[in-house]
Amino acid sequence: MDASRHERNGIHEQNGDAFCVHTPDDVSTLEKLPEPVLQFVKQAVQLCRPDKLHLCEGSHDEQATLLALLESRGQIGRLNKLNNCWLARTDPRDVARVEGRTVMVTKNRRDAVAGGVNGTLGRWMSEEDFEQAKADRFPGCMKGRTMYIIPFSMGPINSPLSRLGVELTDSPYVAVSMRIMTRVSPEVLLALQHDDFVRCLHSVGAPCSSADQRATWPCDPDHTLIAQLPESGEIFSYGSGYGGNSLLGKKCFALRIASHMAREQGWLAEHMLILGITNPQGDKKYMVAAFPSACGKTNLAMMTPALPGWKVECVGDDIAWMKFDDQGQLRAINPEFGFFGVAPGTSTKTNPVAMEMIQRNTIFTNVGQTSDGGVYWEGIEKKPANGVTIRSWLDKPWTPSSGEPCAHPNSRFCTPLQQCSILDPAWNDPQGVPIEAIIFGGRRPQGVPLVYEAFNWKHGVFIGAAMRSEATAAAEFKGKQIMHDPFAMRPFFGYNFGDYLAHWLSMDKHSQQPRIYHVNWFRKDASGHFLWPGFGQNVRVLEWIFRRIEGEAEAMETAIGLVPSPGSLKIQGLGDVDEEALFSVEKGFWESEVRKLRDFLEGQVGNDLPAEMLMQLKQLEERVALLP
Ligand code: GTP
Ligand code: SPV
Ligand code: MN
């Protein structure tokens, strides 16, 4: 591809470097913008050549207008059975994050990727290569389209833990989704007068003549590129309209750019849910948990506890920004304003809270549709009424015997946070909530116990670094291979993973470190059945963690950490649970696990690995060697 790709298509006429958008609407839009935002918009307009500008104010009426526009173009359809709910079907080539086309752009390669390798822990692109890639893609890319200007806040506006952004996009689907997922309001525009912001530029990469907006899901999969420039606080995303590739407040900003900021400013930006849990006596604790994509964060964050008297409340289901306060207490905010949750597997049994909240004001993407205007997916466990037929995410007639999934495995719902019936009272607290436990976890069909506790902070950081999990449909990977996914951040690191580990280790200086745990809901028996019922029953594990923090639950030492002493985890009333199989730590499995971990850390992190991590690895190897 070369710089004149769009010109060759007859789409981009060069009309000097005049600021080319000048309808009366556009002019009044621009007058409202704070100077730095205006400069950002002007440069983007010159580069991308949109036909029109639209400044998003985030109002209800504006949302309705944009949804109606999308509907009139056939880009979304109304779901009549639900209230103000919509279905988007993407181009089948644009259904998930594309890690292979996601890059960090920094002056020095070492600042972006560990071990000097473009490996599984991120990809680096040089500034020169990025300039070329940008020149190959962005000139004229918005021709025929409107550029939406979206000022947004990640986190409560004016919280010391929050940060601002402006996304410019030619996708109205992105505009309506950003209005659900982030705080978009005139207040943000005011705040932008004083505060710096992250500059986010997004294009679907399909310029068109104004009259022809017919493509139902414009995208350019062959040239997709998602580039983060942490040193200048910029994001450039081209070619994909889907989720984390295009809703730039989420993974690109709140994880990749923010983790870089967090390191410089002494805080943490993590792929973690935040929940509050209250025991029958009314004592409450907040916990965060990092599981890789599609491994159960949304489910845990909204859990309906199976133990009587216990209550779980949700602060967030995907991202936590955390900082130790002056008292040495770790505090967390959810920078997001909505949920972008996995649909398949969501049912009134597994997640009744989510099922209730998605009945209104929700945008579904790539789920199946019933002929009476409802939604359908694998595991919804609700038979459609007699005579009702189903169309799949590919808009083809579908029955259970069709031999292909009804919903794409990475299909999602996009719903406002405030519709969650168990939203925590402190969800919008600018100070954040106090965190007492950090939980890591993954999908491990073999070998990894239901729960274990780290011996101390350093060992806990090592447990995060050692995380592995089965691949899921949230990214482009195929099959069920077990991948290294340290801290559930593998696709989201904004800087060298070795430096990231050093940053986590440096938190040891604070007076009240939360305890660190590892959980695994996904261990299977020899015939492939889950050993643990999961979902609402996971509260039994949280209950044990709760009592551990209070100093009330017994644990015993194993080679990998502290597991519940026999009888300490409350499994009464669960029926058949094979405790032995759930908690066994087998020598053969862990020998192989530790070997893989050493290969990974040496190969991918190399000299950037902090010495403390090598020490932890050696100690684990020694403990595993002593296993019977
Ligand atoms: P992202 O939004 O991609 O970051 O994912 P997430 O971590 O929020 O994943 P989510 O909670 O949406 O879970 C995805 C899948 O995991 C669904 O298919 C769930 O049914 C399944 N799942 C969640 N919790 C459990 C559990 O406790 N046991 C079992 N067996 N499956 C679970
Ligand atoms: C994930 O993949 O972890 C998600 C979905 O939360 S997306 O926003 O598409 O990255
Ligand atoms: Mn996620």
pLDDT number for residue 25: 77
Q: Is the pLDDT of residue 397 over 80?
A: yes
The separation between CA 476 and the C-alpha centre of its own chain, rounded to angstroms, equals 15
Confidence of residue 15 (pLDDT cuts 50, 70, 90): very low
**How far apart are the C-alpha atoms of 485 and 443, rounded to whole Å?**
11
Q: What b/e string do you get for 249-274 counting C-beta neighbours within 10 Å, with b at 16 or more?
A: bbbbbbbbbbbbbbbeeebbbbbbbb
* Residue nearest atom 1 of ligand 2, based on CA coordinates: 293
Q: Return the structure tokens found at 64.
A: 């309705």
CA distance 94 to 223: 12
Residue the block writes with tokens 């009259």: 211
Identify the nearest ligand to the CA of 270 by its number: 3
pLDDT digits (tens, 9 = 90+) for 524-545: 999 999 999 999 999 999 999 9
Which DSSP string do the residues of 356-372 spell out, in sequence order?
HHTTBS-EEES-EEETT
DSSP 141: T
Told to judge if 402 belongs to the known catalytic residues of this protein, a careful annotator would answer: no
The catalytically annotated residue of 91, 220, 317, 318 is 318
- Residue 388, burial from CB neighbour count under 10 angstroms (0-12, 13-18, 19+): middle
Helix (H, G, I), strand (E, B), or coil: what is residue 326?
Answer: coil
User: Which of 256, 412, 490, 518 does the annotation list as catalytic?
Assistant: 412
- Give yes or no for residue 518 having a pLDDT over 60: yes
pLDDT band per the 50, 70, 90 thresholds, residue 303? very high
Tell me, in angstroms, the distance from the centre of ligand 3 to residue 295's CA: 9
Radius of gyration of the chain (CA): 24
Of the listed 5, 89, 97, 490, which one is catalytic? 97
CB 96 near ligand 1, within 6 Å? no
Q: Identify the pLDDT of residue 19.
A: 53
CA distances in angstroms from 333 to 34, 117, 255, 451, 500, listed in the order given: 27, 33, 13, 25, 20
Contact predicate 114/605, CB 8 Å: yes
DSSP code of residue 269: E
- The Å distance, Cα 364 to ligand 1 centre, comes to 17
**Residue 31 scores a pLDDT above 90:** no
Stretch 206-229: mean pLDDT: 91
pLDDT of 194: 86
- What span, in angstroms and rounded, lies between the C-alpha atoms of 366 and 376? 10
Check residue 18 and give its pLDDT: 42
Pocket test for ligand 1, best of 95, 242, 299 (most atoms within 8 A of CB): 299
* 488 and 273 Cβ atoms separated by less than 8 Å: no
Report the distance separating Cα 373 and Cα 380, nearest Å: 15
Q: Out of 251, 458, 503, 548, pick the active-site residue.
A: 251
Torsion 335-337-342-348 (CA) sign: positive
Ligand 2 centroid from CA 616, angstroms: 31
- Is 396 noted as a catalytic residue in this protein? no
Instruction: Give residues (CB < 6 A) around ligand 2.
Output: 97, 243-244, 250-251, 293, 318, 340, 474
Give the distance (Å) from ligand 2 centre to CA of residue 123.
18
pLDDT in tens, 150-193: 999 999 998 999 999 999 999 999 999 999 999 999 999 999 99
How far from chain centre, in Å, is Cα 498? 22
Residue entry with tokens 């659900």 = 180
CB 223: neighbour CB atoms within 10 A? 17
Q: Kindly state the DSSP code that residue 565 receives in the 8-state scheme.
A: P
Cβ(398)–Cβ(368) below 8 Å: yes
- 343 contacts 350 by C-beta, under 8 angstroms: no
Give, for ligand 2, the residue of 340, 476, 485 to mutate: max count of ligand atoms closer than 8 Å to Cβ: 340
Ligand number nearest CA of 316 is 1
| 360, β-bridge pairs | 83
pTM exceeding 0.75 = yes
Is 163 marked active-site?
A: no
Crossing angle for the helix pair 611-625 and 457-465, to the nearest 10 degrees: 90
- Ligand 1 centre to CA of 296 (Å) is 3
Decide if 177 is catalytic.
no
Nearest protein CA to atom 5 of ligand 2, as residue: 244
Quote the pLDDT of residue 231.
Answer: 98
Q: Which ligand ends up closest to the CA of 469?
A: 1
What are 341-351's pLDDT values in tens digits?
999 999 999 99
pLDDT tens digits, 424-463? 999 999 999 999 999 999 999 999 999 999 999 999 999 9
CB of 194 closer than 8 Å to CB of 229: no
Task: Give yes or no for a contact between 20 and 49, defined as CB atoms under 8 angstroms apart.
Answer: yes
Q: How far is CA 382 from the centre of its chain?
A: 28
Instruction: State the residue for tokens 């029958």.
Output: 280
Sheet harboring 390-391: ordered strands across? 375-376, 368-370, 390-391, 397-398
Ligand nearest to the CA of 408: 1
Residues 76-104 pLDDT 10s: 999 999 999 999 999 999 999 999 999 99
